[in-house]
Structure 1
């Protein structure tokens, strides 16, 4: 389903040259392969970039390019760009994401769970800083973990404008590879990051939080009793519902370790 955050018909297919290696690893199973085959045949520089930036998807690209295709080139390009719209927004203009109405939920959904004053906090998948800014404004030192370089730069610039950057450290990393020592933080949090590999993700969140600290996922899930919800409840998380503007009811989860 199209996000409609930006007009992809105004976007060059060469914008895919801005994707990170980790983002390229997500493409198998995400994009329509026939449309991608048509688009890559017409854009050999993008194919070359993908293979050299992320060699582990080369065999998948071989399979994709073996497919027979009939779609007009620009039609195929637009189909691929539409499927990757969020990644393109992060690469081209993070302000577009940062202005989305669904981010305007009540900060008390977070601050009523956590006393941030004086705490060391890791924000995993920090993005444009929705959770990071709340923690900084309430006195925490925040280590924002974000795999997309353009989002890391955006977050630094945003906090500098608000003179909050002295207690912010922005680093590359993933929820499955948090670049800090064991028991590093008082609070580990993330929004819209949990659920692709629950066992591995939870183990890493647990590793970096101190005994007596908290793991907070806000938002942690859609309002569904799905596999992620079942996993979190079974591992001792409490949860409640809250509303994201224009995006409906979500669930947040928290646990004292």
Structure 2
């Protein structure tokens, strides 16, 4: 599925040098059954030694695979053939490559630019609350909550996105948002810390692990919120979340998408 968040023809293959270990590992782990992708990735890496070196050293667990696909790559490709291989990989990984360009992400990702913060703020009373935003991205949820909350912790595993949020905090003199590393299944916070734990486009890879971790760090009587952005996708309610006691709230986005947000009060 193409989202058109980047124009791969205009993006350097060196963009991968800006991405984190977990993204490189994912690229080298999760697409091994896609023969066309593997062929193009091998060709692109074979002709971009700096990026190949970065893949192998930024993600040591991926080094044997990187060496394997480079060794199997077609030889003697023209400059145009190499560029077409790069573009194929950039297109295929556009939802990760865009993390290297937070301003482009804000401009081109409709789930960010079409979103209204009121879809979050009506889900809980953020007044004077201690809030955790898991997988903050460019800070869509975190900065909205910060308008009412006492303190917001923005947990984000992507370095470029953490830098973007920290730059915004300095530029706009925002005093109640703190940016830290962390993933939905491994949060660097103590048990029973937050009044509100929220995320969007994060929960779903492993419901048991992710929801257990979000529940661990929220206080007794606190709230967990899942608040995706607004896009044009047609969705049905998330049966996993409903089955785990979440309430669902529905609205139609500006672009005609079916958007569901979720809330659950936690009792321990």
Shared fold per TM-score greater than 0.5? yes
Verify the 8 A CA contact 2:46 2:73 in the aligned structure 1.
Answer: no
- 2: CA distance, partners of 1:243 / 1:192: 17
Which of these residues, 158, 163, 169, is aligned with residue 168 of structure 2? Answer: 158
- 2: CA distance, partners of 1:134 / 1:155: 13
- 2: CA distance, partners of 1:134 / 1:208: 21
Which of these residues, 200, 203, 206, is aligned with residue 209 of structure 2? Answer: 200
Find the counterpart in structure 1 of residue 177 from structure 2: 168
Structure 1 residues 220 and 67, CA, compared in 2 at 3 Å: closer, same or farther? Answer: farther
Find the counterpart in structure 1 of residue 63 from structure 2: 58
> Secondary structure at 1:137's aligned position in 2?
coil
Structure 1 residues 245 and 23, CA, compared in 2 at 3 Å: closer, same or farther? Answer: farther
| Corresponding residue pairs, total | 253
Find the counterpart in structure 1 of residue 43 from structure 2: 38
| C-alpha RMSD of matched pairs (Å) | 2.2
Find the counterpart in structure 2 of residue 76 from structure 1: 85
Deviation (angstroms), 1:146: 0.5
Which runs of no fewer than 5 residues in structure 1 stay unpaired?
none
Verify the 8 A CA contact 1:132 1:142 in the aligned structure 2.
Answer: yes
Structure 1 residues 237 and 20, CA, compared in 2 at 3 Å: closer, same or farther? Answer: same
Verify the 8 A CA contact 1:105 1:243 in the aligned structure 2.
Answer: no
> Secondary structure at 1:143's aligned position in 2?
strand
- 1: CA distance, partners of 2:54 / 2:235: 38
Find the counterpart in structure 2 of residue 25 from structure 1: 25
Find the counterpart in structure 1 of residue 102 from structure 2: 94
Structure 1 residues 14 and 247, CA, compared in 2 at 3 Å: closer, same or farther? Answer: farther
Which of these residues, 216, 222, 239, is aligned with residue 213 of structure 1? Answer: 222
Structure 2 residue 117 is matched with structure 1 residue 107: yes
> Secondary structure at 1:2's aligned position in 2?
coil
Normalising by structure 2, we get a TM-score of 0.86
- 2: CA distance, partners of 1:198 / 1:59: 31
Which one is further off, 116-125 or 24-33? Answer: 24-33
Find the counterpart in structure 2 of residue 146 from structure 1: 156
Structure 1 residues 247 and 123, CA, compared in 2 at 3 Å: closer, same or farther? Answer: farther
Verify the 8 A CA contact 1:102 1:247 in the aligned structure 2.
Answer: no
- Within a 5 Å distance, the mapping from 1:168-247 to structure 2 comes to 168-219=177-228, 224-225=235-236, 229-246=238-255
- 1: CA distance, partners of 2:212 / 2:234: 24
- 2: CA distance, partners of 1:176 / 1:223: 27
Verify the 8 A CA contact 1:143 1:168 in the aligned structure 2.
Answer: yes
Deviation (angstroms), 1:199: 1.1
